Every structure is written in structure tokens, then in C-alpha cells.
Amino acid sequence: MSQTTIPEDDEAARLEAGRLLFAQPVTFMRGVAELSQLPPAELPEVAFAGRSNVGKSSLINALVNRKDVARASNTPGRTQELNFFDLGGRLVLVDLPGYGYAAAPKSRVDAWKKLVTRFLAGRAPLARVCVLVDSRHGLKDVDLATMDTLAKAAVPYQVVLTKVDQIRGGMITDRLAEVTDALARRIGALPDPVLTSAEKGTGIPELRALLAALAAPRVDR
């Protein structure tokens, strides 16, 4: 195995490590509707959580620089399973069902909520959860409830503000300050939210670098 420790202050090297990892092949592994269907716990996992229509699928597609790895839709609640993707045999990306709204019967929505909660609370290889928050609206009660679940499970999480291209610069500054202040009082929250736009590419290299630091070491053949 080969892995070079990159100093935290070497931003160029960290960005390059992220670029190289997310340039690797990405393969759909499986969709999971029950915990018994979870894949073997062989690689570190990063899950993407957020309210429906927050832009999870678009962000994942931007990270891997593909258009159709994760299915994006204008219909909230389209992702109805835990979808697992293998990234270069070093990291697993997990696209979770959106919370807060879904175009499905209440019984089905409740089943998704229970599935996601149990996954977040008990998945051993889960190294990080990216909690996506729409920068236009800020933190909502459902976001805070998810953060509470992660805190109880001792799972560290990174808040990612999405769609920053759709709000004015001054509002971005205010929103960032508001969210940063809220996270300072929360267990398990990484202190610095990442500002992103899947459409414009804003923040994508930086988020790649953060997630690359969690990946399994590269295997030299």
C-alpha cells in the first residue's frame, strides 16, 4: 500500500489528492431498502444527507465529474433507497433519501426515515456524513434533528452549503456566519461549513480534498 501524509497547510497537495481520487472510476454497488442488504463493510464510507431537493445528487455528480452517477430530479423524494457507489476501490459514497418531503405514502416515508436513522447510528465504516443545507434557506429543524442523531452515534459530520450561486454575496457571508455559529454549539460538527455550487463548481475541489483524507490508502500494483 502507498499513502503519503499531506501536511494540513499544503493546500495545493491536498487539492491534488482530492482531484486524483475523484478522477477514479465510480461504480454503482447497490441500492439498499433494508439493513440486511448493506454491502460488506470493507472501505471507509461517506454519506450525503439533506432535505429533499437540497441538491445531493447534483453535488455527488459534480464531485465525481459525471452527469448521471447519482440521479437528479426536480421531483423531491426521488431517491428512495440508500445508494452505494465505489470510488476507485478506496472510498464508498452513499446517497441517502432526502428528508423533510417525499412523493410517496406516509408509511413508505416513515420506513425510509427509520432505515436512514438506523444506518447513521450503527454503520461501523461510516467515516463522515456530509449534511447538505440549502444556502438560500439555512438550517431547518429537520437538519438539526439529523445532527442530533449523528451526535448520539458519535459520527462526525461536515455541513455543506449548496446552491451558493443562487444567492447574493452579502447573503452568503451572513448565512455562513449564522451556520458556523450554530455548529460551534454542536457535538460532532466540523467547524467550517463548505460553500458549494454544483452548477458553477464552487467549493467542489475543496470538498474533494476533505473527503480524500478519509479514503483507504492507495494500493500500488
What pLDDT tens digit does each residue of the chain (221 aa) get? 344 466 666 899 999 999 999 999 999 999 999 999 999 999 999 999 999 889 999 999 999 999 888 765 444 444 578 999 999 999 999 999 888 655 566 666 677 778 888 898 889 999 999 999 999 999 999 999 999 999 999 999 999 999 999 998 789 999 999 999 999 999 999 999 999 999 999 999 999 999 999 999 987 65
Q: By C-alpha distance, which of 181, 82, 76 is closest to 129? A: 82
pLDDT confidence of residue 101: 58
> pTM for this one?
0.89
Four-residue CA torsion sign, 63, 64, 65, 70:
negative
Q: Which residue type occupies 127?
A: A
Residue ranges covered by each domain of the chain: 11-212
Rounded to whole angstroms, the Cα distance separating 145 from 150 reads 9
pLDDT score recorded for residue 39: 94
Q: Which of 128, 131, 207, 138 is nearest to 167 (CA)?
A: 138
Distances in whole angstroms, Cα of residue 202 to Cα of each of 56, 188, 197? 15, 25, 5
Per the CATH hierarchy, to which homologous superfamily does domain 11-212 belong? P-loop containing nucleotide triphosphate hydrolases (3.40.50.300)
